[in-house]
Structure formats: C-alpha cells, structure tokens
Amino acid sequence: MTRILPVLLLGCLLSLPLAAQLPTAAPSSSQGSNNTASQSDPLPPSTPPLDVFMGSAKVEKPVAGTVKLSIREAMDLGLKHNLGLLLSQQQTETARAQHWRSLSALLPKAEVRAAESVQQVNLAAFGIPFTVNGSTIVGPFSIFDARPTVTERLLDFNALNRLRAADEGEKAVRHNIDDARELVILVVGNEYLLTLADAALLESALAQATTAKAIYDRSVDLKKAGVAAGIDVLRSQVQLRQQQQRVLTAQNQLAQQRMQFARVIGLPVSQAFELTDQVPNPPTPPVDLEEALARAYERRPDYLALASRVKAAELMVRAAQGEALPTFDLNGDIGVIGRSVGSSRETYSVAGALRIPVFQGGRIKADVMQAQSNLRQLRFQMEDMKNRIEMEVRSAALDVNSSGDQVKVARDSIGLAGEQLKQSQDRYASGVSGSLEVVQSQEAVATADETLIQALYRNNIAKLTLARALGVAEQQARAFLGGR
C-alpha cells in the first residue's frame, strides 16, 4: 500500500498542471472507450436581439417626489437594470460551465466503493470438476470489498483542443457583455433624447396654441370693429382647435415616451422624474476616419467576440481531427477484500490502457466536415462584419455632418418663420390681408419648430451612433453628447 499510493498520486499530479493551464471549450464526452464528443456543440452565443434591450429585469423601488436624471445618470441606471445586459451577463455562467465540463475530461476521477455480499456458487456451472461434501454447490459465503479507485486520462488531443476552444468561448462571452453595454448606452441615450424631443414638441405645441388663441381673439376684435370678415374669425377658430389637438397629441406622446424610458432604465413607470440635461448640441469631436477605423477593429466588442468565436471554431476542427488519435488512460485502485471485515487483506491493481481508433464508420470524418463548415461560416461572417464596421463608421460620420448642417438651416428657418408671422399679423391688423396669411405663417413657424427638434435629435443620435460604431460609446458618450 505504501508503494502503490505514491504511484497513483504521481499520475494524478503530473496531469493537473497541464489540464489546469488549458483553455475552455464546448462540452466534452465522458472518458469511456468511445470518447465521441459531438462536434455540433454550440459555440458561444452572440449578443441578444435589440428588442430585449427595451426592458429591464430589475426595477428600482418607487420614491417620493421627483427623481432628477442627467444623461450619464440614466445610462448608469440602464447599465444596472437593463434586461439585455443582464441576459448577456448570464452567458458567462454558461461559458464557465462549458469550461468545467471540458476540463473534467482531463482531470482525475476518484471514487470510493465498499460492498459486502453473500453468495452460493455452483462450481459445475463454471466447468470446475470439484465437489464439496459430494456436491458442486459451494456456500453460502460472504465477501467484503472496500477500495478507492482513481482514473486519469493522460493523453487526449480531442479533449485538449476542446478545452482551448472553450477558453476562446469565454473570451467571446466577455466581449459579448461589453457589446451589450455599448448597446445599453445607445438605447438609453436614444430614449433620453426622444423624451427630450417629445417634451420640446409639447412645448412648441403649447406655444403655438397660445399664439393661435391670440390670433383668434384679435380676429374677434377686428370683426367687432368691422375690419375683419366672419370667415377670418372662423378660420382662426379652426386653427386654434387644430393647435389644441396637437397639444393633446403631444401630451399623450410624451407620457407614453416617459413610461418607455422608465422601463429601459429600470424605474417604475409611475415614478415622477425630471431630465436635467436639455437638448445637447455640442460640436462633434474631430474624428480621423482612417485612424478611427483602425481603432474600431481593435475595440469593437462585437468584432472581437466574433474573432474569438472563429478561433474557437478552428480549435473545434482540430478537436474533431484529434478523435482519430490515440488516447491513454491510467486506472488504479487499492483496498481490502475478504470473507469479513476482520479477515480482509490488502489488494491493489494498476492498469494502463491505450486506445487507437481504427475504424469509426465515418463518424470522425463527419465531425471534421461539420466543424470545418462551422468555421467557414464564421469566417464569412467575420469578413462581412469587417466591411459592415467600415460602412457603419463612414455612414455615422456622414450623418453627423449632414444632421449638423440641417440644425444650422433649421435655426435660420426658425428666425425667418417668426419674422414672417410677425409681418403677417401686422398686415392682418392693418386690414391689408386676411387671416389666411396669418394661419399659413403660423403653420410655417410650427413646421420650423418641429424641423429643428427633429434635426437636433438626428444630430445627437448620429453622434451617439458614431461612438457606438467606433466601439467607444460607454467611454465617450458624454463627450459626444455633452451631458453632465
């Protein structure tokens, strides 16, 4: 016993450093004589679909009063509560489970077995030509056996490569989580800006309703003075009703948007809150497109995740090819056996088994073909993503420049429409023109207001999208949007 235990322990300890240093992979099979782990084991999943990011898995408790939120604070809440991010983080546990499953194929297996039985044996059934007291029946007699057993796979190239593939899978999952954080920043930023835009539309609608009421009152006064016709009063009254309808629509739209925004960041939909950042419009940080593209390939978490998945698929091909290579197992046990516990004597056994696959009926070839097909598909996706990233960066940069110019034009239009309304009101009050010109001018002011609000929204979303395309949304969102 003192000699066999060190041998068994040495075999286990020699294998531990090698197994512990190996990366993770998809699930491997047991260590039986047919170690045929399926090559269809799934690679790490990608980031959840975008609609999952429109809700929260955790919701803050309602608080009394009004919660004040800046863009940065809203993004922090989103990173804490958003459903898409929390689901992505759960992929880490799945990847870790795959790692341990693959690692277990290379670690020693130990168990302790104890058994006691009572037997009566017919020697003649075993071809033994002996009799006891004139009979071939022996017994009944008891047997006691107790022993620990250790099994270790010392050589298995299939399991080694699957373990390394699982390590790449864990890297891909970590990149997926980073990509999910980027998406949370994009979604929360979009909802914050939409809420600001809807609030601005309501404010504009209220202002236009106030103007329409003033025009209606002026029309009534002019009609009483005999300067305006009845049609002018009716026309201004219709315009007033239309503006009041816009106010009602804008109020409902804002209320709906505030609830959606609350869901995204994990606030109760009934919680009162106030957005402290007004519609931002800072200058866009200078971006060198060629340099930005190079950094995007280094930073984009979705691109890095796909690169890890490609590496994992390459290792899975090698794992499939390794099924045709020999495996070597070491088995040993030591214990006691006898008629009873008191009469038991020590016994042990040590065995090494070399398994050489000769013919597997085409299974190994099928596994290799499937693994190679998966690898080719991922490489195609990798090339497509590289082109898509370039298109996204350049497209976002174009949108930033174009929407910035639109903001400038919209601001000019606001001033021109306001001057047009003022002059039309003066002409109407002087009796030079009717109320139609005033109504048209007021519509021009309303359109100019909406156009500016939409242009500001598009410009800020373009900046946020550019930051996401560059892979720096979480780090640079404040710089791109100018929030506190």
User: Is the pLDDT score of 5 beyond 60?
Assistant: no
- The CATH number for 36-106+156-324+362-481, chosen from 3.10.20.740, 1.20.1600.10, 3.40.50.1980, 2.60.40.10, is 1.20.1600.10
Q: What is the DSSP string of 92-120?
A: HHHHHHHHHHHHHTTS-EEEEEEEEEEEE
User: Is the pLDDT score of 35 beyond 50?
Assistant: no
Report the DSSP pairing between strands 345-355 and 109-122: unpaired
Question: How would you list the strands of the sheet with 345-355, edge to edge?
Answer: 109-122, 137-155, 327-338, 345-355
| Winning range, highest mean pLDDT, from 3-7, 263-267, 428-432, 444-448 | 263-267
Q: Does residue 284 sit in helix, strand or coil? A: coil
- pLDDT (tens digit per residue) in 340-374: 888 889 999 999 999 999 888 888 999 999 999 99
pLDDT score at 433: 75
User: Is the pLDDT score of 175 beyond 60?
Assistant: yes
pLDDT score at 12: 37
Quick one: tokens of 472?
Answer: 């720096």
- pLDDT (tens digit per residue) in 223-261: 887 777 888 888 888 989 998 999 999 999 999 999 999
What are the φ/ψ torsions at residue 177 (nearest 5 degrees)? -65, -40
| Confidence (pTM) | 0.75
User: Is the pLDDT score of 24 beyond 50?
Assistant: no
- pLDDT (tens digit per residue) in 388-439: 999 999 999 899 889 888 999 999 998 898 888 888 888 877 777 777 787 8
Residue of higher predicted confidence among 373 and 124: 373
pLDDT score at 340: 82
Computed from CA positions of residues 77, 83, 84, 86, in that sequence, does the dihedral angle turn out positive or negative? positive
User: Is the pLDDT score of 172 beyond 70?
Assistant: yes
pLDDT band at 164 (very low <50, low <70, confident <90, very high): very high
Computed from CA positions of residues 435, 436, 441, 443, in that sequence, does the dihedral angle turn out positive or negative? positive
- What region does 95 belong to: left with phi over 0, alpha with psi -120 to 50, or beta? alpha
pLDDT score at 484: 47
User: Is the pLDDT score of 290 beyond 80?
Assistant: yes
Rounded distance between C-alpha atoms, residue 410 and residue 456, angstroms: 9
Rounded distance between C-alpha atoms, residue 463 and residue 260, angstroms: 22
* Domain edges within the chain: 36-106+156-324+362-481
Task: State the first-to-last Cα distance of the chain, in angstroms, to the nearest integer.
Answer: 72
- pLDDT (tens digit per residue) in 54-81: 888 888 888 888 999 988 899 999 999 9
